[in-house]
Amino acid sequence: MAKQNTGDPLVEMFIFETSQTVELLEQIVLDSESAGGFSRDALNETFRLVHTIKGSSAMMNYNEISLLSHKIEDLFSYIRERDSLKYDSSSLSDLVLSVVDFIKSELEKLREGIEPDGKPDKLAKKIDGFMKRLKKNNGSSTGASSSPAKDDTKENIGGSGVVYEATIFFEDGCQMENIRAFDVVHRLNGIALVISHFPVELIENDQSSETIKKDGFKVIFKSEKEFEDIQNLLMRTPFLKDITVNAVNEMLEQQGEDSKKEKKAGQKNNQAKQEQKKETGVSEIQSPLTSNIISVNIVKLDKLLDLAGEMVIAEAMLTHNPDLAGLELPNFTKTAQHFRKIIDELQDLIMSIRMVPLTITFQKMNRIVHDMNKKLGKDTRLVLIGEDTEVDKNIIEHISDPLMHLVRNSIDHGIEPKEVRLKKGKPEVGTITLEARNEGSEVLIIVRDDGKGFDRQKILEHARNKNLLFKSEDEMTDKEIYSLIFMPGFSTKDKVSEYSGRGVGMDVVMNNIQAIGGTVHIENQPDVGSAITIKIPLTLAIITGMNIKVGESIYTIPIKEVKESFRPKQSDIIVDPDGNEMVMVRGECYPIFRLHERFNVKTDITDFEDGIFVMVEHDNKFLCIFADCLLGQQQVVVKALPNYITGVKKIRCVAGCTLLGDGSISLIINVRDLLSLSR
C-alpha cells in the first residue's frame, strides 16, 4: 500500500466532510428501514448525499469511492423518478450499507496515510444486479440517468412559479468550491427547477473553482416557494461567506404590470433591508451555522489545553514562590487572585470547546443492532436517552469500543429469541436502552436490556473451572460474582460464534474504562434484564488533587477519591495473624497502606500517631494511606510519565505526574492499583 501525505489539507477536508456525510447517510438508511421503507424525502436526501460523495471523491481522484457512489446515485435516481416503483426496501438498505462500509474502510486508510486501494467490483456487480431486477420486475427497458432531470417536486411546480437569481460566495480557503456549488444545485432540486448556473461545468472543468472564488456562483431557478423559504435553504449552505437573492420575475405566466409592480416592491424591500444591514453592520443573509461555527483540528485544541495547563503551573509557581514567604503583599495577592480567576475561566472555556455530545457515538449503535438482528434472527430495538450529554473528545475515543461490546453482548447473550420471550410473557421485540447523564464531575452511561439477565450459578461454575475465583465463593457478593465476566478469557457461551458471549471482549470494556479512570457496575434481575453502568470523568487533563508528603517526596491523590483524613489512636490499630495492618474507624475495619514502603522512600515518620491517614475510595472499596502530612488541595495538570521511565519499567500505582508551584514533581496516585495490591 502506497503512503500518502496525511498533512495535505485537501485530504484532511475530504476525510472530515465525507465521514460526516457517510454517517448521515447510514442513519437515514437505518431510520428508513425502521419505518418500513424509504419515504420521498429519504430518497431525495440519500440521492443528494451519495451525489456529494461522488463529486468530492471524483475531484480527489478516489475512483473506487466515486464509482460506487455513482452507481448508487444512478439507482436512487431511477427510483425517485418512478412513483409506483416496486422494490425490496430491505435489500436496498443492505446494498447502501455495504457501500457505506466500503467508504468507511477507504477513509480509514486515508487517515492512516495509506492510498485507498479497495476493490469495489463485487459490490458494483451487486448494485448492477439490483438495477436489472428492478427494471425487469417493473417492465422497464430504459436506463436510468444520473442526472436528476425529472423530479416529483418539479412536476408539482408546473408552469407557474417565481424566478430567483442567487449569487453565492464561499469562505476564503474553504476549497472545493465547485463541489460546494454542485451541492447547492442539488439541494435546490428538491424545491425548485434549476434553469441555469454559472460556471456551467462544475465538475468537469478544473477552472470552475477559481471562477467561483473570483465572481461567485450564480444560479437561476424557478420555485413556488416563498422568498423566505428560499433564503432559509440557501443560508444553510456550508462555508457560506456572502449571498444575495433576488426575485427576477414573479409568475412566469403573468408578464403584465402587476408582475412588474411586485418585482419593484420586492426590490425596494430588498434595498431597504440592505440599507438596514449597512446601518446595523449585520449581514442579513448569513447562515448562523456556518458563520458562527468552525472546525478545528483536535491537535490544535490539545496544544491549547497544554498551554492552559502550563499557565496553571506558572501561576502556582508564582503564588507559592518561597521568596514571598512571610511577606504581606496585599496588591500582589489581589492581582494573583484576579489572575487565578482568569485562568479558571480560560480552562473552563477550553474544556467546553473540547466537549462533544455523545450523539454520534450513540447513533453508531443503531448499525450494530441492525446487523446483529439480521444475523442472529432476533428483533431488538434501541432506545437512546441523553445522547446530547457532552464529554471530552479524548474520552469519547475510549468509550466507543466498550459500548459496542456491551450492545453486542446484550443482543447475543441477553435478549432471548422471539418464541422464548413470548412464552415468558415478554414483548416479542426486545429493548436495549442506551442512556447518558451528568452526575457532578462525572458522566454515567447505562446499557440496559430486558433480556434474561445473568446466570449467577453459571458464572460461578465457569469461573471455578477456569480458576478465576480470587476468594471463597461463600464470601463473594453478587456484585463481585457478576464482575467476573470482565476477566480475560471468561465466557459462558457454550459455542464460539462471531459475536461470542458475555466475557469475550468484555475485558476490553473494563480495560478501556479503567484506562480513563472510570468504573463499571452491574445490576441484574434474572429473567427481567440487566444494566451495566459506566462511570467516567468529564475530562482527563486537569484535576483537583490532595497533595501529601512522604519523606522528601510529594504525591497527589485525586480529590474525588479522597473521603477523609484523620490522625489515628494507637488503640484503633489492628494487626491480623498474617501481619496485615488495619485501622478501626466508626466500627469498620480498613486496610492500611504505608506509602513509604511501597515507593522505598526514606522518612523519619513511621509511627501512625506521628503521621496522618488519608482514607480513599474507588468502586466502593476503601483504603487508608499513611503519609507524613497533608500539604493541601490544588488544581494540577495531569502529565504522562516520560517515555524513558515507562520504557524501562511499568510503574504500578502511578497514574501520571504533575509539576507543583515550587517546580518540584509530584506523582499522581492510582487509587485503583493501590486497592488491588492491598486486596
Predicted confidence at residue 256, as pLDDT, reads 43
Q: Which CATH class is domain 542-677?
A: mainly beta
Q: How confident is the model at residue 653 (pLDDT cuts 50, 70, 90)?
A: confident
Question: Would strands 588-594 and 621-627 be described as parallel, antiparallel, or unpaired?
Answer: parallel
Domain spans of the chain, in order of start:
9-137, 152-292, 298-356, 358-537, 542-677
Span 173-205, pLDDT tens digits: 777 788 888 878 877 876 777 777 888 877 667
Taking a C-beta distance cutoff of 8 angstroms, is the pair 421, 427 a contact? yes
Thinking of the domain 358-537, which architecture would CATH place it in?
Answer: 2-Layer Sandwich (3.30)
pLDDT at 7: 58
Predicted TM-score (pTM) above 0.75: no
Q: What dotted CATH number matches 298-356?
A: 1.10.287.560
Q: Is 623 exposed, middle or buried (0-12, 13-18, 19+ CB in 10 A)?
A: buried
Is the pLDDT assigned to residue 15 strictly greater than 60? Answer: yes
Q: Do domains 298-356 and 542-677 have the same CATH topology?
A: no
CATH class of the domain defined by 152-292: alpha beta
Residue 593 has pLDDT above 60, yes or no: yes
Average confidence (pLDDT) over 237-251:
76
pLDDT, tens digit, for every residue of 400-440?
888 988 999 899 888 999 899 999 999 999 999 999 998 87
Over its C-alpha atoms, the chain yields an Rg (Å, rounded) of: 32
Q: What is the percent of the chain where pLDDT is above 90?
A: 16
**pLDDT of 117-165, one tens digit each?**
888 889 989 999 988 888 888 765 444 333 443 344 334 344 457 888 8
> Is pLDDT at 31 greater than 70 in this prediction?
yes
Which position has the grid cell 415468558? Answer: 424
CB 460 within 8 A of CB 473: yes
More confident residue, 324 or 272: 324
- The fold adopted by the segment(s) 9-137 is Four Helix Bundle (Hemerythrin (Met), subunit A) (1.20.120)
% residues pLDDT > 70 (the chain): 83
Residue 676 region, left (φ>0) first, then alpha (ψ -120 to 50), else beta? alpha
- What pLDDT does 145 receive? 39
Spell out a b/e string for 227-266, using b for 16 or more CB atoms within 10 Å of the CB, else e: beebbebbbebbbbbebbbebebbbeeeeeeebeebbeeb
DSSP 471-494: S-GGG--HHHHHGGGGSTT----S
More confident residue, 355 or 542: 355
Length of the chain: 679
Residue ranges of alpha helices (H) inside 567-649 are 595-598, 643-646
